[in-house]
Amino acid sequence: MAGKKQFDVGIALDAAMVRFWRAGYADTSLDDLSRTTGLNRSSIYSSFGDKDSLYLRCLDRYAARYGNRYDQALSCASEEPLQAVRAFFEVTLQRITDPDVPDGCLIAQTAMAAPTLSPTIATRAIEALDLQRARLRDALTAAQLAEGDADDFAVHMTAVNQSLAVMSRTGASQKQLRTVIDISMGALSHALRARS
């Protein structure tokens, strides 16, 4: 249509996602989003809805992007469970060290702010964490870990994964982050050796 400004929705969503990720929901204004995306307020509203709707789109985009990487890492869990779980953690470590994205994790950040966010946003963060736990549980079950142990380790590994993101925001070194992973991997290795 003549005179209508065109823009790439994916690029705008990525820009908004990084802004929310860097500053958090509460500290990101519509003016910030306008500057970040290059869209005026009316374009943001007409394309994405209100701030909550845009944030939800960004959460979904983030969860899909990194979820696919986690799924790929865990795909060999039935044959090489330790290698698969270590690859799972490597996805997080690579994200943490990527200079093109902020430290931490948008999902963890959202979960920590959940009491001050809308119920819809808080629920979406919880769903993303539940999905991460489910993908780990499925991978550990495929590795023939007993169901109860698979559940317990999935809860533990999800917590460790989120803590890596939080620790990275406070300046923890790669060595410290890898130590946390190594301790968890040692416990998992012991459980896998003991499986019947």
Residue-wise pLDDT for 60-80, tens only, equals: 999 999 999 999 999 999 999
Residue-wise pLDDT for 7-21, tens only, equals: 789 999 999 999 999
Are 97 and 13 spatial neighbours (Cβ–Cβ below 8 Å)? no
Residue-wise pLDDT for 47-65, tens only, equals: 999 999 999 999 999 999 9
Which two tokens mark 2?
Answer: 């003549």
Q: What share of the chain is helix, strand, coil (3-state, %, to 5)?
A: 75, 0, 25
CA distance 75 to 21: 28
Q: How far is CA 7 from CA 37, 43, 78, 130, 151, in A?
A: 10, 10, 43, 34, 44
pTM for this one? 0.88
Residue-wise pLDDT for 114-139, tens only, equals: 999 999 999 999 999 999 999 999 99
For residue 1, pLDDT beyond 80: no
CA distance 144 to 138: 10
Residue 3: pLDDT band with limits 50, 70, 90: very low
Q: How many CA atoms lie within 13 A of 98 on its CB side?
A: 15
Residue-wise pLDDT for 142-185, tens only, equals: 999 988 999 999 999 999 999 999 999 899 999 999 999 999 99
